[in-house]
Amino acid sequence: MKSLRVLAILSTCSLGFVIFSRAQDGPNNSGTETVARKKKSTDTSSSSSSSTPAAATDSDQPKIPSQFKKEKETPPSAPSFSTDAVAVTVEVSVLDNRGHFIPKIPRDYFRIMEDNVPQKIATYSLGEAPMTICMLIEFSNRFQQVWGPTWRQTLTAAYSFAGSLRPDDNLAIVAYDLKPEMLSDFTTDRNQTADALQRLNFPGFSESNMFDALVDTAQRMENIEGRKAILLISTGIDTFSKLTFDKARRAIQEAGVPVYTFGLMQSLRDIMMASRINPGAEMDFLQADNQMRTFATESGGMSFFPHFYGEFGGIFQAISQAMRQQYVLTYTPSNQARDGKYRKIKVEIIDPKTNEPLRVVDEKNKPLKYSILAKSGYTAPRPVE
């Protein structure tokens, strides 16, 4: 046994000596071929003697043209085209005094004024299209306590509007108090919409930052194609926004998304005024109404301030008609300066024979009042754009 132990010790020592001597030689620098490493060219004699054909070298492969050298590789005889013209698209709704869309207005009866300068209409189209609309809902603990009258009015309006949409309309739900929160993205799945509305149970903060939420939503929808709009269901009160009213107004004008406003608490305010409860708050609500009217008018939308639940159906029908049926006019501005300035737009309906405002009559040949809904302007691009 002792001899076996001595033999094992000697074997271990000899193995350690071999490992130590090899470690002193340093790492093996021969390496292995990888994808990143370029293969060295082999001798032709060795290649010919090999039984398998040699792989093609890098010089034999066709070169991939670089996108940075695209201009240099273009043949001199190839034609090239470029344009700096700015085209403006204006979506116009013409409604009678009952909120019904007035169809079949010829192209020549429209006149577009940009900064009081008439513009030539390039394209004209009319038709129905699916809506892409975001329902922006104020849901704060300031006025919408659980089971309160404003809480019930808010949910009734939200569910009623969602139920009035067509199957191909896209709807997103955003609720805001201190900050906006997207409850559901744009979808035609009404089950997702129902799940989003069911989250409107218990308000969180008492702040109501309407300016920030409205501008954030409008800027997110700025690049969406097709018929798009924002339905703002709100009291109009803003408590703690980072943006002021003037900055929010300018941002909404630049975004070009129509805003339809739905004012809350109108019947409660009537009761407050009649009973002389908190008369100072009425001035805040009047200012809030004016702010929502301004957002709607300047963006090409409409504003509604219902006093009764029975008005909800007619309001949502008017919004649907105003959005779904529109005249789409496109023109190239006479002022092509890229100065980044805001330019005012005014759309008129005229008699092309007299250039006077068009007189519209009903079936009984009586004058019919109508309103023209269109955005109030746009911001010209800057040179860097």
**367-382, pLDDT tens digit by residue?**
888 889 888 889 888 8
Q: Find tokens 């900050």 and name the residue.
A: 179
Instruction: Provide mean pLDDT across the span 352-374.
Output: 85
Does residue 352 sit within a domain? yes
99 pLDDT above the threshold of 80 = no
11 pLDDT above the threshold of 90 = no
Does residue 10 sit within a domain? no
Nearest residue to 299 via CA among 219, 370, 216, 229: 229
Indicate the number of domains in the chain: 1
318 pLDDT above the threshold of 90 = no
pLDDT interval class at 56 (50, 70, 90): very low
Tell me the chain's radius of gyration from C-alpha atoms: 35
Chain Cα centroid distance, residue 336 = 26
pLDDT interval class at 72 (50, 70, 90): very low
Average pLDDT, the chain: 80
Other Cβ atoms closer than 10 A to 149 = 15
Does residue 98 sit within a domain? yes
CATH of the domain at 178: 3.40.50.410
Instruction: Provide mean pLDDT across the span 5-25.
Output: 45
Please report the pLDDT score of residue 384 as a whole number: 64
In degrees rounded to 5, what are phi and psi of residue 207? -75, 155
Please report the pLDDT score of residue 101 as a whole number: 84
DSSP of 215-250: HHHHHHTTT--SEEEEEEEE----SS-SS-HHHHHH
Better-predicted residue by pLDDT, 238 or 381: 238
Please report the pLDDT score of residue 18 as a whole number: 42
pLDDT interval class at 47 (50, 70, 90): very low
Please report the pLDDT score of residue 2 as a whole number: 44
Q: Find tokens 């919408």 and name the residue.
A: 144
Chain Cα centroid distance, residue 90 = 17
> Would you report the helix, strand and coil content of the chain in percent, each value rounded to 5?
35, 25, 40
289-305: per-residue pLDDT in tens? 999 999 999 998 999 99
E-assigned strand segments in the chain: 88-96, 110-114, 117-119, 121-128, 131-138, 170-176, 180-187, 227-234, 259-263, 303-304, 325-331, 342-351, 356-357, 370-373, 377-379
247-263: per-residue pLDDT in tens? 999 999 889 899 999 99
Lowest mean pLDDT among 62-66, 133-137, 306-310, 324-328: 62-66
28 pLDDT above the threshold of 60 = no
Does residue 225 sit within a domain? yes
Better-predicted residue by pLDDT, 138 or 276: 138
38 pLDDT above the threshold of 70 = no
pLDDT interval class at 277 (50, 70, 90): low
Does residue 103 sit within a domain? yes
216 pLDDT above the threshold of 50 = yes
**Whole domain around residue 254: which residue ranges?**
84-385
Does residue 353 sit within a domain? yes
Please report the pLDDT score of residue 15 as a whole number: 44
Please report the pLDDT score of residue 60 as a whole number: 54
Please report the pLDDT score of residue 104 as a whole number: 85
Nearest residue to 319 via CA among 266, 234, 236, 260: 260
Please report the pLDDT score of residue 209 as a whole number: 95
Instruction: Provide mean pLDDT across the span 102-107.
Output: 88
Does residue 71 sit within a domain? no
Does residue 62 sit within a domain? no
157 pLDDT above the threshold of 90 = yes
In whole angstroms, give the CA distance from residue 350 to residue 360. Answer: 10
